[in-house]
Amino acid sequence: EAQVTQNPRYLITVTGKKLTVTCSQNMNHEYMSWYRQDPGLGLRQIYYSMNVEVTDKGDVPEGYKVSRKEKRNFPLILESPSPNQTSLYFCASSLRRGAQTSSGELFFGEGSRLTVL
Amino acid sequence: GENVEQHPSTLSVQEGDSAVIKCTYSDSASNYFPWYKQELGKRPQLIIDIRSNVGEKKDQRIAVTLNKTAKHFSLHITETQPEDSAVYFCAAPSGSARQLTFGSGTQLTVLP
């Protein structure tokens, strides 16, 4: 089954304790991205990756890191979480993305609800 | 970068009535406009999209219209049903189409 898998789905942590949210897709997609969803603010992009070893900042990258060492995986790292990073996080992937190529469907993971105390 | 504004933020309609959600965008180079539906507790999923070479696209009870001159596009849902109740997001490309910027979302409630 084609899917985007995130883990953990739910996490409560404390300020300053490093954590990683994993994301894996099995569709051989080139493009992967992380979004956070907050009430009234919609989906805001944190980081994205056009392909392996290529990552770029989105609109709200502060406090986050990512890596893309393999095509299927795109982990989100919070080195020192703070309460303002309490949010619902979505990983998403698409076949490819860019001005000269088909801007196709984004497939989302099930979401990871993070609470930072 | 792209700025996408979505209105209204909440919308309640009677079952069987129509619902319209509107979005405006700022980047005149944008050429792809998708709509995503997010049911309660679920992930967003694409329901319809439109490219800039057409003005309207329909898929059963949903349709999207695009006005490139005015830089706005709209989602139309006819004969609404309770299962249409969800949050709807519009989006537009930015950053040379490498990014997808979402609107703030519309909570649609279909009243029985």
Give pLDDT tens digits for A56-86: 999 999 999 999 999 999 999 999 999 999 9
How far is the C-alpha of A18 from the C-alpha of A63, rounded, in Å? Answer: 11
Q: Which residue of A has its CA nearest to B35?
A: A105
Chain B CB within 8 Å of residue A99 CB? yes
Q: Residues 20-79, chain B: which have Cβ within 8 Å of A?
A: 31-32, 34, 36, 42-46, 49
Does the distance separating the beta carbons of A35 and B1 come in below 8 Å? Answer: no
CA dist list (Å): B88 to B39, B60, B110: 9, 17, 13
Instruction: Please list every residue in chain B whose beta carbon sits closer than 8 Å to the beta carbon of residue A103.
Output: 31-32, 93, 97, 100
Distance, in Å, from the CA atom of A117 to the CA atom of A83, rounded to the nearest integer, reads 6
Average pLDDT of chain A, as a whole number = 92
pLDDT digits over B63-104, tens only? Answer: 999 999 999 999 999 999 999 999 999 999 876 777 889 999
Q: Report the C-alpha gap between B103 and B10 in whole angstroms.
A: 13
Instruction: With beta carbons under 8 A apart, name residues in chain A contacting B93.
Output: 97, 103
pLDDT at A100: 47
Query: How far is the C-alpha of A44 from the C-alpha of B94, rounded, in Å?
Result: 13
Q: Which of B100, B105, B90, B75 is nearest to A88 (CA)?
A: B105
Residue B39 pLDDT: 97
Distance from B32 to chain A by nearest Cα, in Å? 7
